[in-house]
Chains A and B, each alone.
Chain A
Amino acid sequence: MSDTSRPEGTRSHMSGVRWLLLKDLQILRRSPLQSTLLVVYPVLIAVLVGFAISRGPEKPRVAFLNEVPPNSRIVVGGQKLPRADVQGRICQKVECVPVDSKAEAEAKVASGDVLAAVILPEDLINEINSLSTLTPGTPEIEVIVNEEEPVKAGLVNDRITSLMAQANLAIARRIAAEGSHYLNLIIKGGELPVLGTSIHILGLQASARILEALEPALEPGPLRSSLGLVTEFARQAGENLDIAGPLISRLAEPIKVDKTVVGGSSPPLEIFAIAVAATFTLAFVTVLLVAGSLALEREENAFPRLVRGLVSEQALLAEKVLLGVAVGLVVTLLMLAGLQFFVPLEWSRIGLWLVAILVGGAALGAAGAALGAIAREVRAVSLLAFMVTLPIAFLSLVPAGAVGSGLYSVIKVIAALFPFKPALEALTGALDASGPALGRPLLHLAILLVAYAAIARLALRRFTAT
């Protein structure tokens, strides 16, 4: 068939790509809602993420009723310990809402005004003090929670358990410190304050020295032998009992956490949050734009006219991916510029940002082209793009250990099949030197780019079929 006098070839098709790209940008400009969204969306996300990471997490509101008399103090061995300040410690971790009665506390929890209520009963200090007597009691504090929502109940339980562990630790440390002080007094001697006066404690080491000095004054015999035994006991006790000091301190906190990081370095949390927000933006803009734009070629009936020698199917796909990458790049950079107001970014690494955004955008664009070619209609494409991108993006953020190992393996495979996760890794690595290395995610993205381009190319074969 000799129906054409058009010059063929890659160069001419590439010039067609330029005009199609210009056309798509003109169409985009003619859609005020779409254009506004493309500008407003990243700015809005940047502001929200910026506020979220610069203000830190909000403290949960907890009603607090302290019925302990103001002058109550924990007493060990007849000595009042310095204030453990349980209330102060709890209120560092949560926003304490003071209440005047248990009924008020219950009402606030029931209404949802506060997440929980903590009540320190009047006899709390007496019960703690009874622990060092022959009739120890059980010190208790009262916690009121609303468990109508399982997730909220779990959160409250975790928070309260953590707070109580911290309060217990604080009290135990005070007691251990006092115990060590008394032990030291027994070993080395010193002044013990009692009822406004002080008693001199001789101490084992001084006792041993006195006894040793007395020993030669006694005639050899049973008395001197007995004195020798007592002297030896006092000396050994004075020399060795100090090892009990560290033991007493360790009793307060027997296990310490020694963290070793394996499996890659991790960037600061705010950088990761920025990378997540930027990748979300890049993914949605690119996938939706490429998929929608390709489906629009069919809805406008232009596709058969275009591929009738004006541009090849490959060139048309390349043009759509290029459109997605170009718009995605602008929108993502706009968003990063907005986030700069909240968190300082390393602009010296912008070269790496561009590489990550361009390669990530290209792979996401190719996925969008595949979706567009498969779904074919603009409305179906938009729905499909959301239905695919949103859950996969969330799945990509599920950390190891958050779900069972079998399920996590499935999630890992699904996340690896879509470009969101490698794009996130690439962008995190590009934003911060402590992030993951760029090589592996870029290679992953390149493989996905080729795979999705091939799927899109195949799907275009039935693109004009009704």
Chain B
Amino acid sequence: MQARELVKRYGDREALRGVSFEALAGEQVAVIGPNGAGKTTLLSILAGIVRPDGGEVAVAGAVGWVPQQAALYRRLTVGENLLLFARLERHPDPRASCEEMLELTGLGERRGEIVARLSGGNQQRINIAIGLLARPAVLLLDEPSVGLDPRQRARLWEFVSGLAGGGTTVVFSTHDIQEAERYGGRLLVLADGEALFDGSPGELREAVRREAPEAADRDFETAFVAYLQHRGH
């Protein structure tokens, strides 16, 4: 996936100001930054939901999108949701695709349960499974772990890492810096619509050591905040 010079304006406010980055097959890219940095706008443009005012996106293959809030029909069962979206994706054998996703998410035994009765973690797993129905080369996850307990988070990231291990490019946004460090092979730091940094967690710590040495040996979140402050954000 390649994004070049993406610009998005909402009235007078520039939500994205010439953001560029690329992600390779099997990479896990974490998009991090303070509130209003432009993370959701960037993912929405990459997903094709929002049209950019400038720049372009190139993707080899389909893009799967998993919104922050589960986009599911809560009065349908797990199986009915997956079958509906498999049919809408025009899969040649929607029932087989549905079974495949149930197996992948480990929710096979709960296929007949109404989604509204499932935990937030399980709802998110179905949300991701629906995003995967398009058999995407790139999977976009907008703050996927919000509202999940630590055990559910661990399961979620195990699942996502498995997908990346299978060659799917994963781009996710998060507010949790530790999570970004742990699961993001690469970090894209946004602030006020600008890309401040694009590299591995190790490279970000090196950048902190250069620009804010007093925070270099602190925990990753403190170091990241110091980096932002040094950059005027």
Query: A residues engaging B (CB < 8 A)?
Result: 1-7, 12, 15-16, 19-20, 22-23, 26-27, 30-31, 300-302, 304-306, 308-311, 464
A305 contacts B59, CB within 8 Å? no
Asked if B151 is an interface residue, CB under 8 A from chain A, the answer is no
Q: 9 nearest interchain CB pairs?
A: A3-B63, A301-B71, A310-B88, A305-B71, A30-B75, A19-B87, A1-B57, A3-B59, A301-B69
B76 contacts A30, CB within 8 Å? yes
Complex Cα distance A411/B49, Å?
A: 43
A-B contact pairs, 24 of them (CB 8 A): A1-B56, A1-B57, A2-B58, A4-B48, A4-B62, A4-B63, A6-B134, A7-B90, A12-B90, A15-B90, A19-B84, A19-B88, A22-B84, A23-B73, A23-B84, A26-B75, A26-B80, A27-B73, A27-B76, A301-B72, A302-B71, A302-B73, A308-B65, A311-B88
Asked if B184 is an interface residue, CB under 8 A from chain A, the answer is no
Q: Do A301 and B89 contact each other (CB < 8 Å), given the known contacts A1-B48, A2-B58, A26-B80?
A: no
Shortest beta-carbon distance, B98 to chain A, in Å? 13
A30 contacts B114, CB within 8 Å? yes
B-side contacts of A16, CB under 8 Å: 87-88
- Of the candidates B72, B114, B138, the one having the most CB atoms from chain A within 10 angstroms of its own CB is B72
Contact with A along B40-63 (1 / 0, CB 8 A): 000000011100000011111111
B62 contacts A300, CB within 8 Å? no
Closest Cβ neighbor of A27 among chain B residues: B75
Complex Cα distance A7/B90, Å?
A: 8
For window 96-145 of B, CB contacts with A under 8 Å fall at 114, 130, 134, 138
Asked if B74 is an interface residue, CB under 8 A from chain A, the answer is yes
B-side contacts of A304, CB under 8 Å: 49, 67, 71
Complex Cα distance A52/B65, Å?
A: 57
Asked if B70 is an interface residue, CB under 8 A from chain A, the answer is yes
> Given known contacts A2-B58, A304-B49, what 19 new A-B pairs fall within 8 Å (CB)?
A1-B56, A1-B57, A1-B58, A3-B57, A3-B63, A4-B63, A5-B61, A20-B84, A26-B75, A26-B80, A30-B75, A300-B72, A300-B73, A300-B74, A305-B65, A305-B85, A306-B88, A310-B85, A310-B89
A-side contacts of B73, CB under 8 Å: 23, 27, 300, 302
B71 contacts A3, CB within 8 Å? no
Complex Cα distance A302/B87, Å?
A: 15
B-side contacts of A310, CB under 8 Å: 85, 88-89
B47 contacts A23, CB within 8 Å? no
Complex Cα distance A305/B47, Å?
A: 10
Shortest beta-carbon distance, A318 to chain B, in Å? 15
B48 contacts A3, CB within 8 Å? yes
Closest Cβ neighbor of B44 among chain A residues: A304
For window 137-179 of B, CB contacts with A under 8 Å fall at 138
B-side contacts of A302, CB under 8 Å: 71-73
**Could you say which of A2, A19, A30, A309 contacts B60, with CB atoms under 8 Å apart?**
A2
A-side contacts of B130, CB under 8 Å: 305
Shortest beta-carbon distance, B185 to chain A, in Å? 22
Size category of the B interface is 20 to 34
| Chief secondary structure at chain B's binding surface | loop
A-side contacts of B63, CB under 8 Å: 3-4
A1 contacts B59, CB within 8 Å? yes
A3 contacts B70, CB within 8 Å? no
B-side contacts of A7, CB under 8 Å: 90
A-side contacts of B58, CB under 8 Å: 1-2
Complex Cα distance A142/B63, Å?
A: 88
Closest Cβ neighbor of A299 among chain B residues: B74
Closest Cβ neighbor of B80 among chain A residues: A26
Complex Cα distance A12/B58, Å?
A: 25
Closest Cβ neighbor of A24 among chain B residues: B73
Shortest beta-carbon distance, B53 to chain A, in Å? 14
Closest Cβ neighbor of B76 among chain A residues: A26
A-side contacts of B80, CB under 8 Å: 23, 26
Complex Cα distance A306/B80, Å?
A: 16
B-side contacts of A2, CB under 8 Å: 58-60
Shortest beta-carbon distance, B43 to chain A, in Å? 12
A-side contacts of B71, CB under 8 Å: 300-302, 304-305
A-side contacts of B47, CB under 8 Å: 3, 308
Shortest beta-carbon distance, B66 to chain A, in Å? 9
Shortest beta-carbon distance, B6 to chain A, in Å? 11
B-side contacts of A301, CB under 8 Å: 67, 69-72
Shortest beta-carbon distance, B130 to chain A, in Å? 7
Closest Cβ neighbor of A311 among chain B residues: B88
B-side contacts of A30, CB under 8 Å: 75-76, 114
A-side contacts of B65, CB under 8 Å: 305, 308
Shortest beta-carbon distance, B113 to chain A, in Å? 13
Shortest beta-carbon distance, B173 to chain A, in Å? 16
Complex Cα distance A6/B62, Å?
A: 8
Complex Cα distance A112/B134, Å?
A: 72
Closest Cβ neighbor of B138 among chain A residues: A3
Shortest beta-carbon distance, B80 to chain A, in Å? 6
Shortest beta-carbon distance, A181 to chain B, in Å? 83
A-side contacts of B87, CB under 8 Å: 15-16, 19
Complex Cα distance A7/B70, Å?
A: 25
- Of the candidates B59, B69, B73, the one having the most CB atoms from chain A within 10 angstroms of its own CB is B73
Complex Cα distance A22/B83, Å?
A: 12
Shortest beta-carbon distance, B205 to chain A, in Å? 33
Complex Cα distance A456/B154, Å?
A: 43
Closest Cβ neighbor of B10 among chain A residues: A465
Complex Cα distance A19/B73, Å?
A: 13
Closest Cβ neighbor of B136 among chain A residues: A3
B-side contacts of A4, CB under 8 Å: 48, 62-63, 134
Q: Do A308 and B114 contact each other (CB < 8 Å), given the known contacts A1-B58, A16-B88, A31-B75?
A: no
Closest Cβ neighbor of A29 among chain B residues: B75
Closest Cβ neighbor of A31 among chain B residues: B75
- Of the candidates A20, A300, A309, A311, the one having the most CB atoms from chain B within 10 angstroms of its own CB is A300
Shortest beta-carbon distance, A142 to chain B, in Å? 67
Complex Cα distance A311/B89, Å?
A: 9
**Could you say which of A3, A15, A23 contacts B76, with CB atoms under 8 Å apart?**
A23
- Of the candidates A1, A3, A19, A306, the one having the most CB atoms from chain B within 10 angstroms of its own CB is A3
Q: Do A6 and B72 contact each other (CB < 8 Å), given the known contacts A1-B57, A301-B67, A305-B65?
A: no
